[in-house]
Amino acid sequence: MTVRVFGTADALSRALALEIARRLAANPRLVLGLPTGRTPIPLYRELVRLRRAGRVDFSRATTFNLDEFLGLAPRDPRSYRAFMQRYLFDHVNLAPRRIQFLNGATRDVDRECRRYERAIERAGGIDLQILGLGMNGHVGFNEPARALVARTHCTALKPATRRANAALFGNRAGAVPRQALSMGMATILHARRIVLLATGATKARCVQRMIEGPVTPRLPGSFLQLHRCAEIWLDQAAAAKLELPDA
Ligand code: GLP
């Protein structure tokens, strides 16, 4: 894994937004995998800024988001879909039909998961997958477990993850759905290139275990060690516990 350390989360976000703009210029049909959470918010803000300045064009790009809460319709303001509309989709020129999302309101979970896997395949696979990192090492909603599910699936959320997502639910962890749909680790690892973002001191311990520890389903992010083109982009606070950061 390549580790890149930036002075601040803003510097990291600016660099990644420019990198995405460059990749879109080289390949307008780029297929992007996108995360939610607090970490990518400055990245989305930068992308919106670049769009307003006419420096990035999403018109032929496709996006696939990683995950969605089960039981929430896309229009529900607490859904990840609504989050993405708010922070990115409403402000850039993505074609709505090329915005791909798991439907949390599905009546047939297995079918919805299969549909998503097929849609990724039909799009030619994900060129660049951006990831965040859960405090407990989860990516997407692949929670720490004895074993991981490879493909898109429905998963039970850990209490810590429900607490971490409480902000979308009026700060009430109890109101966060107990289940979610998520790309699996294999779905994620099939992306041609992966950039995982982690910022802030609260992620430092988890980042260290992910990079320097063993590959284990107890820390799903550690599976990125198996990918030939995975990069970990950190701010200094998140890199603080690493032995040999590639500064
Ligand atoms: C959520 C999402 C993850 C995200 C993680 C980290 O649980 N399902 O995809 O990476 O939170 O969130 P944050 O960036 O707010 O720390």
Q: Is the CB of residue 165 below 6 angstroms from any atom belonging to ligand 1?
A: yes
* Residue 247 pLDDT greater than 90, yes or no: no
| Tokens (6 digits) for 246 | 């590639």
* Residue 244 pLDDT greater than 70, yes or no: no
Q: Is the CB of residue 187 below 6 angstroms from any atom belonging to ligand 1?
A: no
| Tokens (6 digits) for 64 | 């696939």
- In tens, the pLDDT along 155-174 reads 999 999 999 999 999 999 99
Q: Is the CB of residue 62 below 6 angstroms from any atom belonging to ligand 1?
A: no
Nearest-atom index, ligand 1, CA of 38: 15
Rounded to whole angstroms, how far apart are CA atoms 207 and 187?
A: 21
Residue 19 bears catalytic tag: no
User: From atom 9 of ligand 1, which residue's Cα is the shortest distance away?
Assistant: 140
pLDDT at 169: 97
pLDDT at 50: 98
Catalytic site residue from 65, 138, 153, 227: 138
Burial of 233 (0-12, 13-18, 19+ CB in 10 A): buried
pLDDT at 211: 97
- In tens, the pLDDT along 85-138 reads 999 999 999 999 999 999 999 999 999 999 999 999 999 999 999 999 999 999
Nearest-atom index, ligand 1, CA of 141: 8
Q: Is the CB of residue 66 below 6 angstroms from any atom belonging to ligand 1?
A: yes
Q: Which amino acid appears at position 93 of this protein?
A: N
Q: Which of 34, 36, 39 to mutate to test the pocket of ligand 1 (most atoms within 8 A of CB)?
A: 36
Residue 143 bears catalytic tag: yes
Rounded to whole angstroms, how far apart are CA atoms 205 and 238?
A: 8
| Tokens (6 digits) for 196 | 């995982």
The reported pTM is 0.96
pLDDT at 2: 96
User: From atom 3 of ligand 1, which residue's Cα is the shortest distance away?
Assistant: 140
* Residue 245 pLDDT greater than 50, yes or no: no
Q: In residues, how long is the chain?
A: 247
Q: Is the CB of residue 39 below 6 angstroms from any atom belonging to ligand 1?
A: yes
- How far does residue 140's CA lie from ligand 1's centre (Å)? 7
Share of the chain above pLDDT 90, in %: 98
| Span 183-211, average pLDDT | 98
- In tens, the pLDDT along 35-55 reads 999 999 999 999 999 999 999
**What average pLDDT is seen over the chain?**
97
* SS3 labels along the chain: CEEEEECCHHHHHHHHHHHHHHHHHHCCCCEEEECCCCCCHHHHHHHHHHHHCCCCCCCCCEEEECEEECCCCCCCCCCHHHHHHHHCHHHCCCCHHHEECCCCCCCCHHHHHHHHHHHHHHCCCCCEEEECCCCCCCECCECCCCCCCCCCEEEECCHHHHHHCHHHHCCCHHHCCCEEEECCHHHHHCCCEEEEEECCHHHHHHHHHHHHCCCECCEHHHHHHHCCCEEEEEEHHHHCCCCCCCC
Residue 153 bears catalytic tag: no
Residue 65 bears catalytic tag: no
Nearest-atom index, ligand 1, CA of 203: 16
Nearest-atom index, ligand 1, CA of 182: 8
